[in-house]
Structure 1
Amino acid sequence: MLTSFPLDDLITTQATAYDPVPSLFGGIIGYVLVVLALWPVFTKAGKPGWGALIPIYNTYLLVKIAGYHGALVILYFIPLVNIVVAIIVALGVGRAFGRSAVFSILLLWLFAIIGYFIVGYGRSQYVGPGGRRDTYPGGAPAVA
């Protein structure tokens, strides 16, 4: 004997499977954590702390702290390329605060929020853009 497929059960299950409220609250909590982590990092680097509030501008500030041209932010919009660029920028930010490559890869790229909390609220000192100590704040080379 043929039985019918329980279509009503399937439709009911699919209609209630997605609830946007947890996603909304999770996104807001994530955003607040990123702002709290990046604000002191930007302040230590002599950048405006409020830059952590603006999504693409905070990436621009990280690229500048890493010692690269601001146009590098455009590469974040290209799939797969953005992963490589994020690793390069994380290494640059790590050098700018006197951190090792292992710290940069693990905590500034892979677990970024934790790493930026450590850099921002820890004892890390800003060395210079990309870790270069031989430049003035304006970017001109120091005279020996």
Structure 2
Amino acid sequence: MDNYDYSESVGSGFLAGVGIVGGIIYLAVIVLMIAGLWKMFEKAGKPGWAAIIPIYNIIIMLEIVGKPLWWIIGFLIPCINIVVVVWVTNLLMKSFGKDTVYTILALLFPFIIYPMIGFGSDRYIGPTAAEAQGQNSFNQFKQYKNPFDNNNNNSNTPNDTPTDPTV
């Protein structure tokens, strides 16, 4: 006669319940993110259904932030894609009038921030990328003045004789 021990089935049932609850929570997070992106796309004047199409939603997001289409290559290159995701998320938040704190929150909690912006009173203010405004994104570096540059005409050297305008 066979003796079976059914004590392991209780643990298996518990783990199955944890898996089902975890799956439901995961689906709820995904639905919140898609709904938030859908509304954000609509606020930006783009089709909301684009939020559910895998590569097309990135293309629409690049249009919203004002980056060229070839940036999609950055999403496909390992390690580079992390930088591109952070950059595009920052531009997306700026396009809705948010600051860097919202970028950090959107990277950590997109299932909260996207619906908050999408369903909230935030307005799309336009693409904030420099290229979308007819500029070059590296112009800020071209205008940089080195504070240690000695080519200043206002500095007095020991050989210069100060002029007195009253004389």
Give me the TM-score of the superposition, normalised by structure 2.
0.60
Q: Which amino acid in structure 2 is aligned with residue 91 of structure 1?
A: N
* Bigger CA radius of gyration: 2
Give 3-state SS (helix, strand or coil) of 1:124's partner: coil
- Closer, same or farther in 2 for the Cα pair 1:93/1:27, shift >3 Å? same
Aligned equivalents of 2:20 and 2:73: distance in 1?
31
Q: What residue number does 1:120 align with?
A: 118
5+ unaligned residues in a row in structure 2: which ranges?
1-11, 135-167
Map 1:39-58 to 2 at 5 A: 39-58=38-57
CA pair 60-134 structure 1, distance change in 2 beyond 3 A? closer
Matched, 1:130 2:128: yes
Report the counterpart of residue 90 of structure 1 in structure 2: 89
The question of whether the paired residues in 1 share the 8 Å contact of 2:32 and 2:115 is answered with: no
Who is 1:33 aligned against? 32
Cα distance in 1, alignment partners of residues 97 and 129 from structure 2: 7
Relative to structure 1, the CA distance from residue 134 to residue 52 in structure 2 (aligned partners, 3 Å threshold; closer, same or farther) is same
Cα distance, 1:50–1:131 mapped onto 2, change above 3 Å: same
Distance 1:22 1:55 in 2: 26
Q: Structure 2 CA distance, aligned partners of 1:54 and 1:23? A: 24
Moved more, 78-87 or 27-36: 27-36
* Aligned-residue offset at 1:42: 0.3
TM-score (normalised: structure 1)? 0.68
Task: Report how many residues are paired.
Answer: 121
Identity of aligned residues (%): 35
Q: Deviations over 1:72-94 (max 9, x none)?
A: 12211222211110110011111
> Which amino acid is 2:110 matched to?
A
- Give, in angstroms, the shift of residue 21 of structure 1: 6.6
Distance 1:74 1:131 in 2: 18
What residue number does 2:59 align with? 60
1:73 match: 72
Q: Pick the structure with more helix per residue.
A: 1
1:113 is matched by which residue type in structure 2? F
Q: Is the 8 A contact 1:67 1:129 kept in 2?
A: yes
Q: 22-31 vs 38-47, which deviates more? A: 22-31
